[in-house]
Amino acid sequence: MLRLDLYIMRHVLLAILLVLLVILGLDLLMAFLDQLSNLNEHYTLGGALHYVLWTLPRRLYEFIPLSALVGAMIGLGMLASHSELTVMRASGFSTARIAWAVFQPVLILAALAMLLGQFIAPVTEQRAQSVRAIAMAGGGALFSRSGVWHKEGSTYIHINAVESGEKIHGVTRYEFSPQMVLQRSSYARQGEYREGAWHLSGVQETRLYAQNTETQELSAEVWPSGLTPELLSVVVVEPTDLSISGLWSYSAYLQQQGVNADVYLLAFWAKLLQPLSMLALVLVGISFIFGPLRSVSIGQRVITGVVLGLIFKFAQDLLGPASSVFGFPPFLAILLPIMLCVLGGGWLLRKAG
C-alpha cells in the first residue's frame, strides 16, 4: 500500500510542479513585457528585469493554490484515464486512501507557501517596489507617480519611495485642524529613522493662516511618528503581498488610528486560511476526477480546474466587500467558500463511491 501511496504522490507532485512552472513562466514574461512601457534613461531594461526577478517569490506564492488544484486534477486524471484508479480500488485501495495520497504533496506545498508568504515574499516585494520607484524617478524619487498614502491622526502623509525600510524619499505631510482645515503642509526630500524618530532633510514647509501663509526651508527636522520602519514595510506594498504577522499588526495600528482595516483583515484571513483553501479546492478536484471528469481529456481538466479556481477567487472577492456592507466578520468572507467546497466535494466524493 505504501508503494501505491508514493506512486500517486509522485504523479500528483510532478503534475503540480509542471503546471506551476508553465504558469509562472508565462506570468514573468507578461510582467517583463508590461514593464517595457515604463523604461526611461534611469529605469533601463536591466532595471525592469531586476524588478521582475525580485517579484518572483510573490508570484510563486500567488500561483501555488491554482497550480495545486490543476496539477492534482491532471495527475490523478491521468491515472484515471489509464484505469489505474479502477485497479487500485478493485484491489482494496479505498477512495479515501487515494484522496489522502493526493493531499500529502498538497500539504507540503501549502507549508512551503506559508513560509514563502510569511518570510520571503513580503521582503522581496518591498525591495522590488522601492527599487523601481527610485529608478523611475531618476534616483531620488522626487516626482514619483506611485508611492503610498497614510493617515496618522489628523495628518495625511504621502511617501514616494521606501529604501531598506529605514530610509524614505519624497515625504509630503498635510496637517489638518479638528475642523479639517489645512494648517500646515511640508515636503522633505528624504528621511532616515534613528533613535525612535524620523530625521528629515531638505524640508520645505508652508503654514496657512486665516489672512496669509508663511514658507520656510529647513535643513533638518525631527519627525516623531508612530509609523515605524516595521509598519512602513507594511504600508508600501499591497495587502495581498504582506506577511501574516504584518497584516495583523498593521490592522491593529489602523484600528487605533480610527481607520477602517477591513481590507487588511480580509488579506490576513485569506493568507492564514490559504492551506484550508488549497485542500478544499483539491477535494473538489478529486471528486470531479472520480465523477464527471473520469474519462475526459487533459485539456478539459485544465479548463475545469482554472474555472473552479476563478469561481472560488471571485466568491471570496465578492464576499469581502459584502462583509463591510452587511457587518459580518471578515473571516466569514474567506471561510464560507472554503466550507462550501468541503461540503460539495465531500458530497460528490461520497456519491462517486
Residue from 172, 166, 167, 169 nearest 137 by CA: 169
pLDDT given for residue 142 in this prediction: 42
- Average pLDDT, stretch 196-216? 93
Model confidence over 86-109: pLDDT tens digits?
Answer: 899 888 888 999 999 999 999 999
Residue with cell 485497479: 87
Torsion of CA 323, 326, 327, 330, to 10 degrees: -10
User: At 216, which helix (H) or strand (E)?
Assistant: strand 213-223
d(CA 238, CA 217): 34
List, in sequence order, every residue forming a beta bridge with 190; answer none if it has no partner. 169, 201
Question: Which band of pLDDT confidence, cut at 50, 70 and 90, is reported for residue 240?
Answer: confident
Model pTM greater than 0.85?
no
91: exposed, middle or buried (Cβ count in 10 Å: 0-12, 13-18, 19+) = exposed
Q: What percent of the chain has pLDDT over 90?
A: 58
Question: Which band of pLDDT confidence, cut at 50, 70 and 90, is reported for residue 204?
Answer: very high
pLDDT given for residue 246 in this prediction: 87
- Average pLDDT, stretch 29-37? 95
Residue from 213, 168, 164 nearest 189 by CA: 168
User: At 194, which helix (H) or strand (E)?
Assistant: strand 182-194
Question: Which band of pLDDT confidence, cut at 50, 70 and 90, is reported for residue 193?
Answer: very high
d(CA 204, CA 188): 6
Q: What percent of the chain has pLDDT over 70?
A: 96
Model confidence over 279-300: pLDDT tens digits?
Answer: 999 999 999 998 876 777 878 8
- Is residue 8 pLDDT above 90, yes or no? yes
d(CA 304, CA 283): 14
pLDDT, the chain, mean: 89
Buried b (16+ CB within 10 A) or exposed e, 120-142: bbbebbbbbbbbbbbbbbeebbb
CB atoms within 10 A of CB 311: 13
List, in sequence order, every residue forming a beta bridge with 201; answer none if it has no partner. 190, 220
- Is residue 65 pLDDT above 90, yes or no? yes
45: exposed, middle or buried (Cβ count in 10 Å: 0-12, 13-18, 19+) = exposed
In angstroms, what CA-CA distances link 286 with 57, 236, 274, 301? 28, 39, 18, 11
- Please state whether beta strands 197-208 and 182-194 pair in parallel, antiparallel, or not at all (unpaired): antiparallel
- Is residue 26 pLDDT above 50, yes or no? yes
All three cell numbers of 92: 482494496
- Is residue 218 pLDDT above 90, yes or no? yes
85: exposed, middle or buried (Cβ count in 10 Å: 0-12, 13-18, 19+) = buried
Phi, psi of 242 (to 5 degrees): -90, 165
- Is residue 140 pLDDT above 70, yes or no? no
- Is residue 141 pLDDT above 70, yes or no? no
- Average pLDDT, stretch 307-331? 90
Residue 69 · residue 140 · CB < 8 Å: no
CB atoms within 10 A of CB 117: 24
- Average pLDDT, stretch 169-195? 93
pLDDT given for residue 295 in this prediction: 72
pLDDT given for residue 137 in this prediction: 65
